[in-house]
Chains A and B, each alone.
Chain A
Amino acid sequence: MISAYLDSVEKALAFDRSLSRSVRHELEDHLREVVAADPEGAGPDAESRAIAKFGDPRIIAAQFAIVSLSKQTTRTAIAITLVIAGIFTMMKVRIAWYEAMLWTTAEPLTMLSGIFVAIDRYSFWLSVVAGIAIWAQFRRRRRLSAELNASYRRHLYRSFLLCLVATTFIIVSIISDGMLTAFRLYSIDLGATALVPIFSMTIEIACAFVLAVLLLRWQQRMAAAMALSQ
């Protein structure tokens, strides 16, 4: 009986595997302890009493889903901040490398390069602005909410939208960086020295991938939490 109850909680929290496993262990310890302490002795009756006192698995799962959602929100905001800092560092490393290697962009690509430099610059700084807005939004609501009420939903939607905007600008910036790097590499004879810009671009692309995965997970958790709260 206890196992079936734990299965239902675990299933409802399947969108967050580490949380569902941890909750299962924790609730199992509780329920088994309650059964062992039952004055009428352990058995199916004691198990059903323990479960009845514990509460509706769907309501409990819904409350855990809000915690998971809050965690994912913070995680994504931190990741965006780190990625922005990482991209900035990678850009500076590449520029320093180009200067040290005396690499320039070939003449036919100079104009196109200028356009991508502008796109890169604006999209990067717009992602910084979106990143600042995310933290400003977080500061307005520091305490984690206990329920998915209208005000908390609005906060989550705004945070998600800001993270989506920041990620979009980051991706545009990375694409521009990729184009600029390709122009530079096109203008030189490829050798071991080209590994530095290629490596830095790989890191940027990996960062964009991580952000996309985090946003997708956030969206999944939001949908799951909303469904459980209805």
Chain B
Amino acid sequence: MLKGHLDMIVLAALAAGPAHGYAVIQEIRRKSGEAFDLPEGTIYPVLHRLHEGGLLSARWVVAESGRRRRIYALTKSGQRALQERRAVWQQFSDAVGSLLAGPQRRRPA
């Protein structure tokens, strides 16, 4: 189930600001209360795909460790896509919530 929503999860993790892959994974783990513990490698192809799709921008920097690091940030299209997906998810969540809330007893006529 998580696989189908990975794009939205990654976009949401970057909503707070630019970050590199490791920080994105940490943010997903933190925000989900450790519920989403994905194989870490699966996040990087998603980041590349969203970058290719124009939803993320990417730039290389040199980290304190001296290693090259790729930093991702939401583009305008990415922000719009996140807003749209949030709205769709909210609708879906409300609908499922209503269904799972149990049957409302009808008053006898």
Q: Which of B22, B41, B68 lies at the interface centre, i.e. has the most chain A CB atoms within 10 A of its CB?
A: B41
Report the nearest A residue to B69, measured CB to CB. Answer: A29
Report the nearest A residue to B37, measured CB to CB. Answer: A53
Report the nearest A residue to B39, measured CB to CB. Answer: A55
**Set A53, A67, A144: member contacting B39, Cβ < 8 A:** A53
- From 45 to 95 in chain A, residues with beta carbon under 8 angstroms from any chain B beta carbon are 53-57, 59-60, 63-64, 66-67, 70-71
Q: What's the Cα separation between A55 and B44 when bound, in Å?
A: 11
Question: Inside 8 A of B53's CB, which chain A residues have their CB?
Answer: 143-144
**Set B40, B42, B52, B60: member contacting A30, Cβ < 8 A:** B40
**Set A30, A57, A63, A64: member contacting B21, Cβ < 8 A:** A30
- Whether B80 sits at the interface, judged by CB under 8 Å, is no
Report the nearest A residue to B51, measured CB to CB. Answer: A67
Among A20-28, A198-206, A210-218, the one that faces the other chain is: A20-28
**Set B3, B46, B52, B70: member contacting A26, Cβ < 8 A:** B70
Nearest chain A CB to B1 CB, angstrom units: 14
Nearest chain B CB to A46 CB, angstrom units: 14
Question: Inside 8 A of B48's CB, which chain A residues have their CB?
Answer: 23, 64, 67
- Whether B105 sits at the interface, judged by CB under 8 Å, is no
Nearest chain A CB to B42 CB, angstrom units: 6
- Whether A194 sits at the interface, judged by CB under 8 Å, is no
Report the nearest B residue to A19, measured CB to CB. Answer: B48
Q: Which of A26, A33, A64 lies at the interface centre, i.e. has the most chain B CB atoms within 10 A of its CB?
A: A26
Question: Inside 8 A of A143's CB, which chain B residues have their CB?
Answer: 53
- Pair B21/A67 contact, Cβ less than 8 Å: no
Report the nearest A residue to B68, measured CB to CB. Answer: A25
- Pair A60/B41 contact, Cβ less than 8 Å: yes
- Whether A150 sits at the interface, judged by CB under 8 Å, is no
Q: What's the Cα separation between A29 and B71 when bound, in Å?
A: 12
- From 16 to 33 in chain B, residues with beta carbon under 8 angstroms from any chain A beta carbon are 20-22
Q: What's the Cα separation between A23 and B22 when bound, in Å?
A: 13
- Pair A67/B45 contact, Cβ less than 8 Å: yes
Q: What's the Cα separation between A67 and B43 when bound, in Å?
A: 13
Question: Inside 8 A of A33's CB, which chain B residues have their CB?
Answer: 22, 65
Q: What's the Cα separation between A131 and B107 when bound, in Å?
A: 64
Report the nearest A residue to B3, measured CB to CB. Answer: A146
- Whether A34 sits at the interface, judged by CB under 8 Å, is yes
- Whether B6 sits at the interface, judged by CB under 8 Å, is yes
Return 9 A-B CB contacts under 8 Å, by A number.
A28-B67, A30-B20, A33-B22, A54-B39, A63-B46, A67-B45, A71-B52, A144-B53, A146-B3
